[in-house]
Amino acid sequence: MSSASTSTASGIVVSPESDDESLVAAALNGNSAAFRVLYERYQRRLYAVAFGYVRNRDEALEILQETFIKIHRNLHRFEGNSSLYTWFYRITSNAAKDHLRRNKRRTSYEFEDGRAEGRDETHPVGNGVSGLGRLGTSSGMTQQREIMAAVRASLDELSDNHRAVLTMREFQGLSYEEMAAQMECSMGTIMSRLFHARKNLQKKLRARLAGYIEDFEPPAEDQNEERRPASVRKAEATP
Amino acid sequence: MSEPQNARETQVSALFDSELDEATSAEVERALADDPMLSEDLEDFGHLKRAIVADLEREASEVPGARFEQVWDEIERGIAASTAESVQENRGLRGLFETLLSGWRAPLTVGAAACVVAVVVFRGPSDGDDGGLVATAPDAVETAGPAAEAPPTPGVKEAPPAAGTLVSYERPEVFDGEVEAVEFSGVRGQILQITDQEGTQRGLTIWIDEIEDEEEEEAADGGHRI
């Protein structure tokens, strides 16, 4: 991408090093180079937010595009009460949520309480099976790749709502109050939804990464064998 | 998972996010000290957070720059379309104003016509002089637009520009009077009709009924000529 360097198109000089405030002022004066610098500055971070919601590259790029058109149209409404990136994040989140609403392609199942969620019978919480902290020895490149693939696959499997709360909280760093406002629900619901999203992700990861967890002793061998990736089974068979 | 256990784990999750009040935090921390499984959960939440952030950052870093460039092109197109839409809306508003002002159209049109006429004969109410004042413009006056540099001042004869030169006359102020006749290229005539050709460069067409000499004299004697 050709970087927008200096521009005097609107009489305001901007560069990739210009601060957000100057860029917004220049963009409002019709300086398209300034708006492009903003795009280049935030494109990947906002893309990551969008991807966190939809888990699909093309759709996330589409949301990014929609987001920046909205930003351009509403830039004059930015009052500076929050930081620019917070404002951008909010627009991206809204665009992503609208996108999901428009394209209800996934069956949105989720587990909001313990009974519905059920216990992970293969790795019951109370059976003493280690958590993800025991992945410490998995430092090889191949193992790292497999762990990342497992994380990705597990996140892909979550429901839209669970992914949304995890993205808002873990990546965007929103408070429960902000999340509740965005998701139009109570803070209690957010607290519960976030907990179940975490437990769900934890369960999926444990199933996928069982072979990497130190001192792991599967309680139900036959079931776990089915869940583990072939590469893990092979590694375990090798003395 | 029992209900109390579920509630406690939910609190651990909220403690991890620093969203509990002081009293509840202290209570949950005591429970953590007594229950290694809860502590493990708390530790896991940290791992999950790191895994989520790492996954999203990695995905964002893997998208080729060319894809973002394509998105930028689409954004530019979107902005252009949005701007065009906005202009279209303004045009719609202009149309509304035009409708509302339609009652004023005739006098305004006459006023606008004054900027393209070559000859304006004016006799004001206090002007006792019978003789009209005549200014002449070249053939090219037909292409003259409303954005003028210098208005044709009544009473001042302007030097004709070179043939073929595009001449612009300033839009005159509407004044008390009526344009009845115009003269250009040595022909004088009465205005029959003014039509607005919207969407064309020409804009206004002034239909003239040529005045014969006798009629001209008659008009000069009897009525007001502007």
Question: For residues A219 and A65, what is the distance between their CA atoms, to the nearest angstrom?
Answer: 48
Tell me whether strands B181-184 and B203-210 are parallel, antiparallel or unpaired: unpaired
Question: For residues A192 and A173, what is the distance between their CA atoms, to the nearest angstrom?
Answer: 17
Q: Per-residue pLDDT for B24 more than 60?
A: yes
Phi and psi of B112, rounded to 5°?
Answer: -65, -35
Mean pLDDT of B47-75: 95
Q: Per-residue pLDDT for A91 more than 70?
A: yes
Q: Report chain B residues whose CB lies below 8 A from the CB of A167.
A: 52, 56
Please answer yes or no on whether A61 and B63 come within 8 Å at the CB atom.
Answer: yes
Mean pLDDT of A54-70: 96
Domain range summary for chain B, segments of one domain joined by +: 3-62, 65-100, 103-222
Q: Per-residue pLDDT for B129 more than 70?
A: no
Q: Per-residue pLDDT for A76 more than 60?
A: yes
pLDDT band at B103 (very low <50, low <70, confident <90, very high): low
End-to-end, the C-alpha distance of chain A in Å comes to 50
Mean pLDDT of A41-59: 96
Question: For residues A223 and A78, what is the distance between their CA atoms, to the nearest angstrom?
Answer: 54
Q: Report chain B residues whose CB lies below 8 A from the CB of A155.
A: 52, 55
Please answer yes or no on whether A39 and B72 come within 8 Å at the CB atom.
Answer: yes
Contact A1, B72 (CB under 8 A): yes
Mutate to test the interface with B, among A62, A69, A163 (most CBs of B within 10 A): A69
Please answer yes or no on whether B69 and A1 come within 8 Å at the CB atom.
Answer: yes
Report the chain B residue with the minimal C-alpha distance to residue A47.
B60
Looking at CA atoms only, how far is residue B223 from chain A in angstroms? 56
Phi and psi of B146, rounded to 5°?
Answer: -80, -25
Question: For residues A162 and A201, what is the distance between their CA atoms, to the nearest angstrom?
Answer: 9
Percentage above 70 pLDDT, chain B: 39
Report the chain A residue with the minimal C-alpha distance to residue B66.
A1
Mean pLDDT of B43-60: 94
Percentage above 90 pLDDT, chain A: 53
The class (CATH top level) of A126-237 is mainly alpha
Q: Per-residue pLDDT for A95 more than 50?
A: yes
Question: For residues A156 and A150, what is the distance between their CA atoms, to the nearest angstrom?
Answer: 10
Question: For residues A78 and B183, what is the distance between their CA atoms, to the nearest angstrom?
Answer: 58
Q: Report chain B residues whose CB lies below 8 A from the CB of A69.
A: 75, 78-79, 82
Q: Per-residue pLDDT for A188 more than 60?
A: yes
Question: For residues B176 and A134, what is the distance between their CA atoms, to the nearest angstrom?
Answer: 95
Domain range summary for chain A, segments of one domain joined by +: 20-102, 126-237
Please answer yes or no on whether A43 and B54 come within 8 Å at the CB atom.
Answer: no
- Chain A and chain B share a number of CB contacts under 8 A equal to 134
Nearest to B135 by CA among B111, B147, B116, B118: B118
What is the length of chain B? 226
Contact A10, A22 (CB under 8 A): no
User: Which residues fall within 8 angstroms of residue B117, CB to CB, at 6 or more apart?
Assistant: B137, B141, B179, B182, B183, B184, B206
Q: Per-residue pLDDT for A139 more than 70?
A: no
Q: Which long-range contacts (CB under 8 A, 24 or more apart) does B187-190 make?
A: B188/B119, B188/B216
Mutate to test the interface with A, among B39, B48, B85 (most CBs of A within 10 A): B48
pLDDT of the residue at B84: 77
Q: Per-residue pLDDT for B11 more than 70?
A: yes
**ipTM of predicted complex:** 0.76
Closest by Cβ to B48, choosing from A64, A191, A198: A198
Q: Report chain A residues whose CB lies below 8 A from the CB of B45.
A: 198
Can you list the alpha helix ranges (DSSP code H) found in A174-229?
Answer: 176-183, 187-209, 221-227
Q: Per-residue pLDDT for B44 more than 80?
A: yes
Neighbour-count burial of B160, counting CB atoms closer than 10 A to its CB (0-12 exposed, 13-18 middle, 19+ buried): middle
The type of residue at A232 is V
Please answer yes or no on whether B68 and A152 come within 8 Å at the CB atom.
Answer: no
Percentage above 70 pLDDT, chain A: 69
The type of residue at A226 is E
CATH number 1.10.1740.10 is the correct assignment for the domain at A20-102: yes
- Reduced to 3 states, what is the DSSP secondary structure of residue B95? helix
Question: For residues B132 and B110, what is the distance between their CA atoms, to the nearest angstrom?
Answer: 19
